[in-house]
Amino acid sequence: MKIASPRGTKDIFGDEMRLWHKIESTVKSVADDFMLEEIRTPIFEHTELFLRGVGETTDIVQKEMYTFMDKGDRSITLRPEGTAGAARSYIENGMGNLPQPVKLYYFGPMFRYEKMQAGRQRQFHQFGMEIFGSPKPAADAEVISVAKELLERLGIKNISLKINSLGCKECRSRYNAALKEFIGNNLSGLCEDCRERFEKNPLRVLDCKEEKCKTILADAPLMLDYLDEECREHFDELQEILTAMGIDFEIDPKIVRGLDYYTKTVFEFVAGNIGAQSTVCGGGRYDGLLEEVGGKPTPAAGFGLGIERLILMLKADGLDEGEKKKADIFVGSIGKAGSIKAQVLTLELRKKGIAAECDTMGRSVKAQMKYADKLGVRFSLIIGDDEVEKGIVALKDMSEGTKADVSFDEIYGKIKELS
């Protein structure tokens, strides 16, 4: 019986792997330049962390978590996002005692039991960052500039930044009352999900993707009209900094983000070329989260950026994966002694940093040379009994078509000299 991979998962290999490597190294270089430190938290956590850290009324907690009881009867959940784990780690490891801000990044798989559609997987990957300790809009701007820089270094063009402010708890509760009244008056026209959301968290209704709901909600009161003075100033200053940084943005008062813990700034980078699931990166400020998961009140901001959607964008832009790494030399052989010598020599060259290949299939010389051709090697040689005995071998430069007799010890130097 053939066993397929579980729905919503994907193998990453071959040509696509090179794209991943390119993204990973670009992430690393951006993180280094922005002085972010990598953090690797466990892939599973106590379910409680996400109930509190993501929020009971979110889609993630309501429908999308991979939750199970382990053999010790603990409720465990595969992480659906990275922020809750990073926040837990910050608290648990006393990072509040380090010089602030603490700037962390992560790169790894996330798990959500989603309905299958383009741009949605059940195991997907995120690059994300968190900046703990600063309440200032400068920190929000720093977070946004990291995502922006990554997109820029990868050569992504067709993307726009949308920002909004959700205010603080006090602004939110005044806005919630106004929103609740508006939705209450329009309840019959909304979808079933929205009617349910209305009871639990009216803000969530603004996130609905259904056309009929969107039409009704076009007239809903806007959060931005309910910001108090401090939240207003925070939002204005963020815009001032972004403008000074030369980062274009658009204010979109409808952005509420999927997670419950956001306060003040929220933002999204939205792609113009990958269809309906177009949000590649989402983030914002979450000043209430650390307290929510058991820490001291600590201001924080961050984002999560979906790697698979980033790859969809890169592919839509026609960006290729780059050239596959070629072997420098193929060490061919005839007979048992030749083949052992070839394998030993190959190992020696590899230890010196030469990408070398030899036959491990027991192929004929002719078949070996055909294979060497496919590898696109620059150099090749063939070791038989004679070569083993004399210690001299003909090194062929495939691009020039020339041959030179060299001793085994001279091969490395000759390759270095010619390439």
Binds ligand ATP by CB under 6 A, chosen from 126, 134, 165, 263: 126
**Binding string, 25-64, against ligand ATP, x = CB under 6 A?**
----------------------------------------
Binds ligand ATP by CB under 6 A, chosen from 16, 193, 291, 308: 308
Indicate the residue among 175 and 269 with the shorter CB distance to ligand ATP. Answer: 269
**Binding string, 191-230, against ligand ATP, x = CB under 6 A?**
----------------------------------------
Residue by residue, DSSP assigns 55-108 as: -TTSHIIIII--EEE-TTS-EEEE-S-SHHHHHHHHHHTTGGGSSSPEEEEEEE
Return the axis-axis angle of helices 192-200 and 169-186, rounded to nearest 10°.
Answer: 140
- Shortest distance, position 150 Cβ to ligand ATP, whole Å: 13
- Shortest distance, position 229 Cβ to ligand ATP, whole Å: 29
**Binding string, 59-88, against ligand ATP, x = CB under 6 A?**
----------------------x-------
Local structure of 283: helix, strand or coil: strand
Is 120 an interacting residue with respect to ligand ATP (CB under 6 A)? yes
How many C-beta atoms surround the C-beta of residue 172 within 10 A?
19
Q: Which stretch binds ligand ATP (CB under 6 A): 119-127, 164-172, 214-222, 230-238?
A: 119-127
Indicate the residue among 273 and 343 with the shorter CB distance to ligand ATP. Answer: 273
Local structure of 304: helix, strand or coil: strand
Local structure of 145: helix, strand or coil: helix
Cα gap 299→290, rounded to integer Å: 8
Instruction: Return the ∠ at Cα 310 (arms to 80 and 272), rounded to 5°.
Output: 115
Which positions from 355 through 384 interact with ligand ATP, judged by CB under 6 A? none
Indicate the residue among 285 and 309 with the shorter CB distance to ligand ATP. Answer: 309
Indicate the residue among 307 and 383 with the shorter CB distance to ligand ATP. Answer: 307
Cα gap 94→97, rounded to integer Å: 6
In the complex, which residue's CB is closest to ligand ATP? 306
Binds ligand ATP by CB under 6 A, chosen from 105, 124, 127, 132: 124
Question: Residue 295 corresponds to which amino acid?
Answer: G
Closest C-alpha among 315, 299, 262, 332 to residue 55: 262
Is 23 an interacting residue with respect to ligand ATP (CB under 6 A)? no
Residues 6+ apart with CB under 8 A from 408: 341, 345, 391, 393
Residues 6+ apart with CB under 8 A from 3: none
Q: Are the CB atoms for 387 and 406 separated by under 8 Å?
A: no
Is 258 an interacting residue with respect to ligand ATP (CB under 6 A)? yes
Q: Which stretch binds ligand ATP (CB under 6 A): 304-312, 324-332, 335-343, 370-378?
A: 304-312
**Binding string, 271-290, against ligand ATP, x = CB under 6 A?**
------x-xxxx--------
Size of the site for ligand ATP (CB under 6 A): 17
User: In the sheet where 67-69 sits, what is the strand order?
Assistant: 44-46, 75-78, 67-69
- Residues forming the site for ligand ATP (CB under 6 A): 81, 112, 114, 120-121, 124, 126, 258, 277, 279-282, 304, 306, 308-309
